[in-house]
Amino acid sequence: MFYCLLFRGLEEDENELLNVSPHTINYASDHTRDQIIQVVNAVWDDGLYITFGVLPSIIISSSSMNYRTDRCLETIRHVKTSPVLFLWMRAKDLNLPHILGAKYAVAFSIASTPGFEALDLSYVLLRFMDKYIREADCDRFKLLSLSYRLGPSATFGVLVFDRRLRSAYQQAWIKSRLDSRYHSRRFDLPLSTWPNRNITLRTPKEVKKLMMAVRALVQV
């Protein structure tokens, strides 16, 4: 089973891009999206520990599937070690619906373990905000919208940000020009990974897989 939050309705012929059957998909609501955005944008004020205790339950609130949401030593250790791939873009490069103030987009894939998908997604969303706000001298960019697909082996998504992500985007772009390991030649995009030196997701095959998911999520 899969659990999706989409920018728009998924066309029948696009299920193949997500590699799923329409009968195996649960959809999250726009209300869920609004709640996620509110919590994620509050991480700088409320802290990572507190928001991580709230967000997983919000993410699965529209799902009929069984995901873990408990915050304990086991789950915290797990999410901190789950490999993540990021592709950095400008919002205008994607065929997004109109999102007021959208300037940047970051696509991601998480190598998830079955049952931990909501926890993995929550941690990535919250840590991304916390990490890059700190690295941008506390310039508090905002998450404006998001789309994702939770699956049993991987979670894919797209995050849309305002202009204040500029500093983090530029750092990723400069790094990609100085070190080819952080550049996708096929798509000419900066990429990064958590952990930073992880190579399992930094391959042309995994980058292509992520871009195919992006195509389905935003109808590029």
Its pTM stands at 0.91
CB 204 within 8 A of CB 82: no
For the chain, the domain total comes to: 1
* DSSP class of 105: E
* Residue-wise pLDDT tens digits, 133-183: 999 888 899 999 999 999 888 999 999 999 999 999 999 999 999 999 999
Interacting residues of 140 by C-beta distance below 8 A, sequence separation 6+: 44, 133, 164
Compute how many other C-beta atoms are within 10 angstroms of the C-beta atom of residue 22.
Answer: 11
What's the pLDDT at 61?
A: 86
Mean pLDDT of 38-63: 94
* pLDDT per position as a tens digit, 53-101: 999 999 998 777 789 999 999 999 999 999 999 999 999 999 887 899 9
Decide if pLDDT at 196 tops 90.
no
Q: What is the structure's pLDDT at 183?
A: 96
Buried b / exposed e along 104-118 (16+ C-beta atoms within 10 A): bbbbbbbbbeeebbb
Structure-token match 């202009």, residue found: 163
The pLDDT-based confidence of 21 (bands split at 50, 70, 90) is low
Q: pLDDT-derived band of residue 42, with 50, 70 and 90 as boundaries?
A: very high
The residues that bridge with 190 in the sheet, in sequence order, are: 183
13 band by pLDDT with thresholds 50, 70 and 90: very low
Q: Are 52 and 78 in contact (CB under 8 A)?
A: no
Q: Which amino acid is at 129?
A: M
Question: Which pLDDT score, from 0 to 100, does residue 43 have?
Answer: 97
Residue ranges making up the domain that contains 60: 2-218
Residue among 57, 36, 28, 83 nearest 217 (CA):
28
* pLDDT recorded at residue 63: 79
User: Could you check whether the bond before residue 97 is cis, i.e. omega within 30 degrees of 0?
Assistant: no
